[in-house]
Amino acid sequence: MSDWNTLLPSNHTDCFTRDRLPPKDQLPVFMSDLPELNYPDQLNCAVELVDRHVREGRGDRIALHGVSDFNTGGGDFSWSYAQLQDKTDRIAQVLTHDMGLVPGNRILLRGGNSPMMAACLLGALKAGLVAVPTMPLLRAGELAQILDQAQVSAALCDSLLADELQHCMTPGHASHVPCLKQSVMFRSEVAEGLEQRMQRHNCAYTPHATSRDDVCLIAFTSGTTGKPKGTMHFHRDVLAMCDLFPRHILRMTENDVVCGTPPIAFTFGLGGLLAFPLRYGASTVLLEKHTPETLLQTVAKYRATQCYTAPTLYRQMATMAGQHDLSSLKQPVSAGEALPDATRQLWKQATGIEMTDGIGGTEVIHIYISSAGQQVRAGSIGQVVPGYVAQIVDDDMQPVPPGVVGRLAVRGPTGCKYLADPRQQDYVKDGWNLPGDTFVMDADGYFSYQARNDDMIISAGYNIAGPEVEGALLQHPAVAECGVVGMPDEDRGHIVQACVVLKPGHMGDAAMEKALQEHVKQTIAPFKYPRKVIFLDALPRTETGKLQRFKLRQISVNK
Tell whether 190 is covered by a domain.
yes
Residues 6+ apart with CB under 8 A from 103: 11, 12, 13, 14, 127, 128, 129, 208, 210, 214
Q: Distance between CA atoms of 147 and 167, rounded to whole angstroms?
A: 12
DSSP 412: B
Phi-psi region of 397 (alpha: psi -120 to 50; beta: other; left: phi over 0): left
Domain end among 395, 411, 441? 441
In this structure, the answer to whether residues 354 and 397 fall within a common structural domain is yes
Per-residue pLDDT at 70: 45
CA angle 215, 268, 110 (to 5 degrees): 65
Tell me the average pLDDT across 246-250: 97
In this structure, the answer to whether residues 272 and 414 fall within a common structural domain is yes
Q: Compute the residue count for the chain.
A: 559
In this structure, the answer to whether residues 189 and 314 fall within a common structural domain is yes
- Read off the pLDDT of residues 289-299 as tens digits, 9 standing for 90 and up: 888 999 999 99
In this structure, the answer to whether residues 324 and 465 fall within a common structural domain is no
Q: In angstroms, how far is CA 244 from the centroid of its own chain?
A: 16
Does residue 152 contact residue 106 with C-beta atoms inside 8 Å? yes
Domain count, the chain: 2
Q: Distance between CA atoms of 120 and 97, rounded to whole angstroms?
A: 15
Domain end among 384, 406, 441? 441
Per-residue pLDDT at 74: 58
Tell whether 451 is covered by a domain.
no
Domain that holds residue 528: 460-558
Q: Distance between CA atoms of 193 and 190, rounded to whole angstroms?
A: 5
- Read off the pLDDT of residues 2-54 as tens digits, 9 standing for 90 and up: 678 999 999 999 999 999 999 999 999 999 889 999 999 999 999 999 999 99
Lowest mean pLDDT among 52-56, 114-118, 402-406, 545-549: 545-549
pLDDT at position 224 over 60: no
Q: Regarding beta strands 283-285 and 215-220, do their DSSP bridges make them parallel or antiparallel, or are they unpaired?
A: unpaired
If one compares 317 and 342, the residue with the highest pLDDT of the two is 317
pTM reported for the whole predicted model: 0.85
> What share of the chain has pLDDT > 90, as a percent?
76
Q: How many other β-carbons are positioned within 10 Å of the β-carbon of residue 404?
A: 11
In this structure, the answer to whether residues 178 and 226 fall within a common structural domain is yes
In this structure, the answer to whether residues 114 and 192 fall within a common structural domain is yes
Per-residue pLDDT at 202: 85
Give the CATH number for residue 238: 3.40.50.12780
DSSP string, 82-145: HHHHHHHHHHHHIIIIIS---TT-EEEEE--S-HHHHHHHHHHHHTT-EEEEE-TT--HHHHHH
- Read off the pLDDT of residues 133-188 as tens digits, 9 standing for 90 and up: 998 888 888 899 899 999 999 999 999 999 999 999 999 998 999 999 999 999 99
Residues 6+ apart with CB under 8 A from 266: 135, 219, 222, 362, 543, 544
For the chain, what is the mean pLDDT? 92
pLDDT at position 69 over 80: no
User: 454 falls in which pLDDT band (50, 70, 90)?
Assistant: low
- Read off the pLDDT of residues 366-376 as tens digits, 9 standing for 90 and up: 999 999 988 99
